[in-house]
């Protein structure tokens, strides 16, 4: 086997229980892929999106129903070193990427108020636009299990709402387009082990302004780091704390909730009291 085949084989062999089965379970549980889909797998160059790309290649090979995949890389203004590493890794892993350039980093460079949020929003828009131009009806992002539970806690602690990261979403600005998260049930620890097992080196963060920035729909990196540390601390006393957080958003007891929003409209428990 060549290098790409070895890495690919490790996903459904060495990491069958922690990655491959979780990947398949997430797709089936949330009905993420249907026959005839054309999916733009969006690659940032990090460990998560690269694993997602290889997993999608495997799924195409073994799936009982046909679907198409394009591997989309957006350059928001990477420095030459980061861009070359992305291109080299894609070639080594036999991922046929389609790369397009934007000036997002230049645009957000002068923004003082929440530049990470603006950057994430612009990136999402460009991905939808270019995916749609390729004839895709879905984009796939590499958010994983830990992103989901961290987002849930961030919303609770800092946004005064109970909100989570959904496994799939309809685009509000691009009709007929959908966002899916195939790694929804895969834990970050398993992804790191897969990376180390195969001695792979991916970019950590390509942000021009900070090496620790985490770009996501919540718009922040430092708060996400706080959540990671908090969950790690709580797991010492309760090893299932991460699973409990994840499952809680699938098991909301509306009989004990004072209020909620649906389609932008607020509701109170008093309506049915």
pLDDT digits (tens, 9 = 90+) for 66-118: 999 999 999 998 989 999 999 999 999 999 999 999 989 888 877 777 777 78
Question: What are the two backbone dihedrals, phi and then psi, of residue 138, each rounded to the nearest 5 degrees?
Answer: -145, 150
Contact between 42 and 49 under an 8 Å Cβ cutoff? The reply is: yes
SS3 263: coil
> For residues 241 and 235, what is the distance between their CA atoms, to the nearest angstrom?
6
Confidence at residue 206, expressed as pLDDT on a 0 to 100 scale: 61
> What is the predicted pLDDT for the residue at 205?
66
3 state DSSP class of 162 = coil
**d(Cα 126, Cα 263) in Å, to the nearest integer?**
25
Give me the residues of the chain with pLDDT under 50, please. Answer: 211-220
User: What dotted CATH number matches 3-148+166-210?
Assistant: 3.40.50.620
């Amino acid at each position: 086997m060549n290098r790409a085949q070895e890495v690919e084989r490790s996903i459904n062999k060495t990491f069958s229980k922690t990655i491959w089965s979780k990947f398949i379970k997430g797709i089936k549980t949330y009905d993420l892929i249907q026959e005839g889909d054309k999916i733009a797998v969006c690659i940032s160059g990090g460990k998560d999106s690269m694993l997602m790309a290889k997993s999608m290649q495997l799924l195409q090979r073994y799936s009982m129903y046909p679907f198409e995949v394009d591997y989309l890389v957006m350059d928001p203004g990477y420095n030459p070193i980061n861009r070359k590493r992305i291109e080299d890794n894609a070639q080594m892993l036999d991922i046929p990427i389609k790369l397009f350039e934007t000036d997002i980093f230049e645009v957000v460079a002068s923004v003082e108020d929440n530049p990470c949020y603006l950057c994430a929003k612009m990136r999402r828009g460009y991905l939808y636009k270019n995916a749609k131009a390729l004839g895709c009806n879905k984009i796939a992002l590499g958010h994983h299990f830990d992103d989901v539970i961290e987002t849930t806690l961030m919303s609770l602690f800092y946004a005064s709402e109970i909100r989570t990261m959904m496994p799939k979403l309809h685009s509000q600005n691009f009709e007929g387009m959908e966002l899916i998260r195939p790694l929804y049930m895969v834990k970050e620890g398993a992804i790191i082990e897969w990376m180390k097992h195969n001695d792979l080196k991916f970019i950590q963060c390509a942000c021009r302004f900070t090496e620790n920035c985490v770009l996501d729909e919540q718009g922040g990196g430092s708060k996400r780091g706080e959540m990671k540390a908090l969950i790690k601390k709580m797991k010492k006393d309760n090893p299932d704390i991460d699973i409990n957080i994840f499952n809680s958003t699938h098991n909301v007891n509306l009989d004990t909730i004072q209020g909620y929003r649906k389609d932008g409209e607020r509701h109170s428990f008093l309506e049915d009291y």
